[in-house]
Amino acid sequence: MPDTVLYRLHFRSPLHIGERGVGLEETRTSVPADTLFSALCTAWRWLYGADSLQAELLAPFADGQSPPFLLSSGFPFAGEMLFFPKPIVSLSPSKEEYPKKLRAVQYWSQSVFRRWLQGQLTDSDYESLAGEEEPLFWVLEEERKVLDPFRDEETGSVRLWKEHVVPRVTLDRLTSASQIWFFGQVAFRKGAGLWCAIRYHDARLRSRVEACLRLLGDSGLGGERGAGFGLFEVSVLEGFSLPEVEGAKYMVTLSPCCPDGKQWSALLDARCGYDLLPRRGWVGSPEGGNLRRKTVWMLREGSVLHRVDGTVVGRLVNVKPDPCPHDVWRYGYAFPLGVSG
């Protein structure tokens, strides 16, 4: 059984995850695994050099069948409570569609998620949502106490972060023209942040991956790093194992994934469900700067897929734009958790 380690990122400055562009930005309150992986690659390159990045990290991932580790996206936590992405479909014979109340919900608590994985969500669990106005989180009655320190004094609803859309001005150095652009920033409250999981198939990589995570904490994750955004401390979350149903027929992914053409047909049946997520952005290397990388569509976190034993779902995708002198890899492996259904 591979070793799964959970990490908590405690942010000490606001975080901006998204793309820079014209107009208002969608603010993400999670960090997709491919963004995390790219940041890890950058840190790896700083600490161990470009040759090591290529040979020891990217090459094993690129071969497709034996990725040395799998990485989940970063999801919110509050104290000891972890949140998971809402699964795209219910898989429950009695509740094919989620109740209306669940529409605005983005994250499920660990207990809700565990029950769902085991096929044990009951009608009374659904009723625990009744009292709240458009809740963002679904937590069970017995978990509510844990979240009391994170409730908004006025509305009583759980607030783990503050979101703002902030303007920033860039002055063109040559023409002196000013350009205003907007970006969303997320500031987590004390005691809240993002967690992610890494499932190590090759345990030898762990110490170096953790060094990269610590370095990232001092360099920043996401946008506007030069101004101090996205700084964090890392801690290993001891004594928590991810809920998972062994030998299940279905799985839910905790990372955006990009199956190749051959995998598609085996992954889907009538009960599966997925959302597509465009992943775009810029090439982040010194040699390939200022190029927009190719857009790739991935299955969003929370997508429910058919499980095929012994197959690793997803791949590294080459999103190299034509003029770029080197390949540009984007992480697209699923982080599967077995779900009964």
By CB under 8 A, name the binding residues for other proteins: 45-51, 164, 166-169, 171, 173, 176, 178, 180, 185, 187, 207-208, 210-212, 214-215, 218-219, 225-228, 286-287, 326
Nearest distance in Å: CB 302, other proteins: 30
Decide whether 207 or 241 has the Cβ nearer to other proteins. Answer: 207
Please state the closest distance from residue 162 (CB atom) to other proteins, in A. 8
Q: How far is the CB of 259 from other proteins (least distance, A)?
A: 31
Partners of 193 in beta bridges: 77
Q: How far apart are the first and last CA of the chain?
A: 23
The b-or-e profile of 67-77 (16+ CB within 10 A means b, else e) is bbbbbbbbbbb
- The nearer residue to other proteins, 261 or 286, going by C-beta atoms, is 286
Question: Would you state the structure tokens that stand for residue 286, as one six-digit string?
Answer: 């010194």
| Identity of the residue, 48 or 297, whose beta carbon is nearer to other proteins in the bound complex | 48
The amino acid sitting at 339 is V
Task: Pick the closer one to other proteins by CB: 27 or 92.
Answer: 27
Tell me if 7 sits within 8 A of 234, measured CB to CB. yes
Task: Please choose, from the candidates 311, 339, 251, 302, the residue with its C-alpha nearest in 3D space to the C-alpha of residue 73.
Answer: 302
Taking Cα atoms as reference points, which of 124, 339, 135 lies closest to residue 242?
339
Task: Give the relative orientation of helices 206-219 and 33-52 as an angle to the nearest 10 degrees.
Answer: 110
Residue with smaller CB distance to other proteins, 54 or 311:
54
CB of 230 to other proteins, least distance (A): 11
Taking the complex as a whole, the smallest distance from the CB of residue 219 to other proteins amounts, in Å, to 8
Q: What are phi and psi of 302, to 5 degrees?
A: 95, -5
Please report how close the Cβ of residue 211 comes to other proteins at its closest, in angstroms. 4
Q: Cα(334)–Cα(328) distance, rounded to whole angstroms?
A: 19
Nearer to other proteins, 50 or 104 (CB): 50
Q: Least separation, in Å, of the C-beta of 22 and other proteins?
A: 17
- Of the two residues 215 and 277, which places its CB atom closer to other proteins in the complex? 215
When the beta carbons of 225 and 306 are compared against other proteins, the nearer one is: 225
Beta partners for residue 192, in sequence order: 78
β-strands 296-299, 192-200: how paired?
Answer: unpaired
| Least Å from the CB of residue 87 to other proteins | 34
Query: Measured from the CB atom, is 1 or 174 closer to other proteins?
Result: 174
Nearest distance from residue 53's CB to other proteins, in Å? 10
